[in-house]
Amino acid sequence: MVSRVDLHIHSTASDGRLSPPEVVAEAAEQGLAVIALTDHDTAEGVALALAAASAFPGLRVIPGVELSTDFAQGEAHILGYFIDDTHKELRTRLERMRDSRRERAREMIAKLRGLGIHIEWTRVQEIAGGGSIGRPHLARAMLEKGYIGSFREAFTGYIGRGGPAYAERRKMTPVAAVELILRADGLPVLAHPLFIDDWQAMIIELKGAGLVGIEAYYDGYTAREIDSLLVLAEKYGLIATGGSDFHGIDTGTETALGGVDVPMEAAERLVALAEQRALRSAITLSSEASPCKTGDRGYNR
């Protein structure tokens, strides 16, 4: 069964196969009602996706991003929904992350060369097509030259975390990512929590920083795992979201667009919260602009 909601999708703006307008057209074709474009460390595809969405009145496209972050025990990804993709600080920080992705890719290419695997930086850039460079682009270059038999082999044998050609890159902490998303008017949500060893502690820490949701519906999560995430979401007043994490690169093993069953309620709650916050900030702005209200604030101080 295909879900009507998919809140975790990648495009060519990062390491997905379809361009943002192609993602939108494909989602509409499949009858999806709400999608979010959440590229790795970039919001470059958002404007294109939103523009493309105007041709499909039955489909709502939520602007988003997926920030890669580091903490002592590993890596966490933070989704930001309804971010203002023109926000100056967000853009600067994302550009810095993108530079760091390039440096890291070059470092991994050098390490691969040391292992007798020769892939070219120019080819990797071509594969990325001007988008944010990620490990899947390196994997494709390796596959093209016949160094590996499958896409997955690149990760298990070479460039997966801890692999012989793996390289770390500079990232922000999960808390810093949550705070950045909030400053850019976005709603921060912890992506695929079960990749984190102590996910419960992480959720509690991030809730303190302003997290609004956790991705409870994700490919491969058992009913029992989803239940335990839902219990935690309920306990901390978090929205349970979900999505396919579609990249469209490895169609043999990857989850399809809309391939994870996400309840409509997840999208509705996110939209309602975004509208509530936008309204609140509009009221704050108008009260700041009014001299009468400024006087009132002085009185209350």
Nearest residue (beta carbon) to Zn ion = 77
Q: Give 18: exposed, middle or buried? Use CB within 10 Å, 0-12, 13-18, 19+.
A: buried
Of 77-85, 139-147, 155-163, 256-264, the window that binds Zn ion (rule: CB under 5 A) is: 77-85
Size of the site for Zn ion (CB under 5 A): 4
Contact between 191 and Zn ion by CB under 5 A: the answer reads: yes
Answer yes or no: are the C-beta atoms of 40 and 12 closer than 8 Å. Answer: no
Q: Which of residues 218-257 bind Zn ion (CB under 5 A)?
A: 245
- A 10 A CB-CB count for 253 gives 9
What is the nearest approach in angstroms of Zn ion to the Cβ of residue 165?
21
What is the nearest approach in angstroms of Zn ion to the Cβ of residue 77?
4
Distance in angstroms (rounded) separating the CA atoms of residues 62 and 50: 8
Pure H helices in the chain: 20-29, 46-53, 88-114, 121-128, 135-144, 151-154, 174-183, 199-209, 223-235, 264-289, 291-300
- Give the nearer residue to Zn ion in terms of CB position, either 38 or 85: 38
Dihedral in degrees, nearest 10, Cα atoms 154, 157, 159, 161:
130
What is the nearest approach in angstroms of Zn ion to the Cβ of residue 257?
13
Q: Which residue in this structure is represented by tokens 């705070």?
A: 179
What is the nearest approach in angstroms of Zn ion to the Cβ of residue 75?
9
Contact between 15 and Zn ion by CB under 5 A: the answer reads: no
Residues sharing a CB contact under 8 Å with residue 15, sequence separation 6 or more, in sequence order: 40, 128, 131, 132, 133, 134, 135, 136, 137, 247, 249
- Give the nearer residue to Zn ion in terms of CB position, either 85 or 245: 245
Of 72-80, 132-140, 204-212, 266-274, the window that binds Zn ion (rule: CB under 5 A) is: 72-80
- Give the nearer residue to Zn ion in terms of CB position, either 44 or 245: 245
Contact between 215 and Zn ion by CB under 5 A: the answer reads: no
Of 75-83, 110-118, 151-159, 277-285, the window that binds Zn ion (rule: CB under 5 A) is: 75-83
Q: Which of residues 20-39 bind Zn ion (CB under 5 A)?
A: none
Q: Which of residues 119-158 bind Zn ion (CB under 5 A)?
A: none
Distance in angstroms (rounded) separating the CA atoms of residues 68 and 5: 23
Binding residues for Zn ion, rule: CB under 5 A, are: 66, 77, 191, 245
